[in-house]
Amino acid sequence: MIKRYLVDEGTEHKVGDVYNDFVLSARMSTHINFLKLLGCCLESRYPVLVFEDAEHGVLNQRGGVMVINWEETFLPWSVRLKIGKEIANALTYLHTAFPKITIHRDVKPTHVFLDKNWTAKLSGFSLSITLPEGKTKSATVPVVGTSGYIDPLYRVTSSVTEYTDVYSFGVFLMVLLSGRPVFFTDSSNGKREGVVGYVKDLYEKDKLDEVMNTKMVKDMTSGQRFQVEACVALALRCCEKIDEYRPKMIQVAKELKRIQISF
């Protein structure tokens, strides 16, 4: 897979973004849940990074994949739970594997690729930030990321911590749970909804079946329904307004592994 950057004046990417993506992709390439960097050309007008081929492509905004003729394949719950667990493992590695914590800052479905075995691969390090050794919080930095996935606390303080990624992952997990994009129009009332508020409202009303897309609910076992309930509760914890109430990614990864094997 080839990733080409436009770095002319006024375009989306800056030269620093390209090198950030290159350096961190290379560093993470030994881990199974990151998209492996194979090569690069950084001296051309349009820098290019070459990654491993992900046979099943990239997730779309609803946590599905596109196939021939741009038709969407709706992924079953078991695959979605596997993806959630593996991306949690990737973020745990980012946060804990090195003396300096790396914060992804742009966790979302369109940065997740799937190989031939449906193994999830996290990518997209252009906006990532590495904290000084021994520090768990950044200095004031510009607020970047994708609307709907950005931690509200980060918006207020302009400072990132590992909990910044935890919040974004919680939103990502809700997208996997519901099969809905982060923002959507509710067919029942025509209002624009955010997936976090939507899932929280249904959870509090004990209407979990309405959280999931009808395609997922149709063939679910009772055990899978318990998995969904546990995942919804975990995703909502990740999206707590106060960061100290959120779990760390290593706790999230362990909980998702427990959920996967317990039901």
96-154 pLDDT, tens per residue? 999 999 999 999 999 999 999 999 999 999 999 999 999 999 999 999 999 999 999 99
Sign, CA dihedral 22-173-239-147, equals positive
Segment holding 120, helix H or strand E: strand 120-122
pLDDT grade for 70, boundaries at 50, 70 and 90: low
Q: What is the DSSP letter of 261?
A: H
Is the pTM for the entire model greater than 0.85? yes
- Residues with a catalytic annotation lie at 106
pLDDT digits (tens, 9 = 90+) for 225-235: 999 999 999 99
Q: How many Å apart are CA 72 and CA 87, to the nearest integer? A: 21
pLDDT of residue 130: 96
Pair 195, 182: CB distance under 8 Å: yes
Q: What is the CATH number of domain 56-262?
A: 1.10.510.10
- Return the closest-CA partner of residue 236 out of 182, 170, 160, 187: 170
